[in-house]
Every structure is written in structure tokens, then in C-alpha cells.
Amino acid sequence: MSLMVDIPPSINPYLDKSRFKKRTYSFEEYVEGILNQDRVILSKAITLIESENPEDQQLAGRIIKECLKINTDSFRIGITGIPGVGKSTFIESFGLDLIEKGHKVAVLAVDPTSERSGGSILGDKTRMENLSKHPNAYIRPSPSGRVPGGVAKRTREAIILCEAAGFDRIIIETVGVGQGEVLVHSMVDFFMLLILPGSGDELQGMKRGIMEMADGIVITKADGDNLKKAKIARADIQRALHYFPLSKSGWNPPIILTSSITKLGFDEVYQMLINFETLMKNKIHPETSKSYFETRRREQSLYWFEQSFFEKIKGQILEKIQSEYQELKEKILNQEITPFDAAEQLLSIIFDQYKR
């Protein structure tokens, strides 16, 4: 005969479901935790702003608004380059170098999301193991989702939270060079393009816009047998940049050879950032009477205002006409209507909805 014993949840932790409930934080706890540089709360706050839940979005909005009040002396660096160029390796080595020079570094690393499954590897903490363990560093991998531009949907808000938490060097690692990759330029102070040695063919196929927007070009893996190739690549890039117009600020993008193994060029990269920041903060923009640094940030704020506005408008409109929208999509798939006519019909439906 067997005995059935009813063990109370307090005695048997495996039956106590309350132990597995997610810890929730109040608005005050989130803000206090971020300002006290609590990495757990900072991570949860970034998860909150990435949430699609309306209640989470409302709370996230309040937190961001409060964090914007904090005066920070931060510098935002966007780093892009084709897959295989060594972005994560470079960022780890350079991040540790920045910390040695007295900075606190946050890395917002965006991993590509699978178009088929919607999944993401999110392996940047593994690839940047030494940096992730440092007390003056914070690494946040986020899936890029379906957002063009190689940045996660809420990357800009995550930047604000990291700055409020005391990180003065914010690095954004993007998915790679693509048509929409330049979106990262709209949220950083310095746009760095990484290029592989011997990339003459890749240089020919690279988007002119990315090259024009680069504030600095870094050739990676310039060591061993690659050093000669890296020098040739630098000469090729110098010739290409010769045909680009000089920026209004007068800044001429340097081309620096680096090696994460030998630390070649890291002091030069650091000095490049200092020189750029000094110029941008001290030189006055003739059209705004503000510094080039402040002008760029103001223009970025206007850009993200417009992006946020159109995103919200699109969401609200589609919510009201979801059935008609789906019906027209089916008609397009069944070749019953052209995409152009479907767009005209949907626009008419929208106008009719808002006339009522």
C-alpha cells in the first residue's frame, strides 16, 4: 500500500508556482535602479521598452521621459561593416581600451533576426566575453526583428537609458552593411565603417551613401600577412574618398589600420574620436548658430519624432481597417487586383473612415 502525502508548496518549492513569477517593478524602482547603475533593472527596463504591450509601452514612456532629464556627457558611436569584418572582436578590444582610459562603455549589439523563423542568436555576450565581465561595461544584445537599418526597434530609447545609467561611451554594433543600414547614422555622434584588408572588390560594390556618411574608416585584421593588403586597401579608399565632397564641418574622415591581436591603431582610433568630438562641439554651424554636435543631435531628434509619429499613425489606421486590409492582400495574392489599385482603394477606405 502506498501513501499519498500532500506536501505544502512552502515545503516543496517545485509545487510553489509563485516562485516562478516575474518580479515587477514600479516606475520609481525602475528610475532609481537605472540611476544607481543596477544592471538587472537596466536590462529589465530595456526589455520593457521593447515590449509591444500597451501597458508596458506607457510605463516605458514615463521612464524614458524621466531619464531624458539627466544631463550626460555621452558620446554615441555607431559601428558597421560587412559580416566577417570582425565587428564584435574589434568592439571588445576597443571597449576594454576605452575602459582603461577611464570611460564606462555600453554596447547595444543588434543580432540579425531570421526572416523564416523570427529567431535570433543573440550571441554577442559570448563573443565579447572579457568585456561583458568588466564592471564598467554593459552589453545588451537585441534582435533586429523586421526593422530595416540594422538596428533594433527601440535602440534609440535604449541609448537614453544607458546614458542615464552613467555610461559615457555608447557603442551600437549593427547587423551589417545593407540598403537600410545607414539608419544607425540618425542616432549616433560618430559613424565608423569597418573594412577588411584586400576589400577592393567589396569597395566597388559598397553603397556610396555609407562611404559618404562615414566619419572614420577602420581597416581591421591588419596583422601578419594581412598587413600589406591592409595598406593597399587604405590607398584604394583614400583615392575613392578624394572624389567625395568635404563635409560642411571641414572634417576629413581618417583611415586607420587596426589589429585586435597586436592593438595596432587603437590609440589612433581613440584620438580620432577625441579630435572629432572637439571639432564638432567647438565649431559653430552657420545655419543654426549652434555647434555642429548640438545641431546633429537636434536634427536626429526631429527625425525620430517624425518616425515615431508615422509609426503610431500607421498602427492606429491599420487597427481600424484591418479586415479591409487583409481582404485586399488576399485579392492581390489571387491576382484579382493590382497592388497599385489596392493601395488606391485602401486610401479611399481610410479617408471614408475619418470623415465619419
The total of structural domains in the chain comes to 2
**Of the listed ranges 142-151, 193-202, 332-341, the one predicted with least confidence:** 142-151
When computed from its CA atoms, the radius of gyration of the chain, rounded to whole angstroms, is: 24
Q: Which residue(s) pair with 291 in the sheet? A: 284
pTM for the predicted model, two decimal places: 0.83
Q: Supply the DSSP symbol for 189.
A: S
The domain of 167 spans 71-286
What is the β-pairing status of strands 105-111 and 216-219?
A: unpaired
Q: Which residue(s) pair with 193 in the sheet? A: 80, 217
The HSE-up count of residue 244 (CA atoms within 13 Å, CB side) is 21
Same domain, yes or no, for 326 and 219?
no
The C-alpha atoms of residue 320 and residue 323 are separated, in whole angstroms, by 8
Span 3-50, pLDDT tens digits: 444 455 454 554 454 444 567 899 999 999 999 999 999 999 999 998
Same domain, yes or no, for 122 and 177?
yes
Q: What three-state secondary structure class fits 291?
A: strand
CA dihedral 155, 161, 163, 164 (to 10 degrees): 170
Number of H helices, E strands in the chain: 14, 7
Residue 61 lies in a domain: no
Residue 46 lies in a domain: no
Label residue 172 by pLDDT band (50, 70, 90): very high
Span 52-67, pLDDT tens digits: 888 998 999 999 999 9
Q: Could you tell me what percent of the chain has a pLDDT over 70? A: 79
Residue 154 lies in a domain: yes
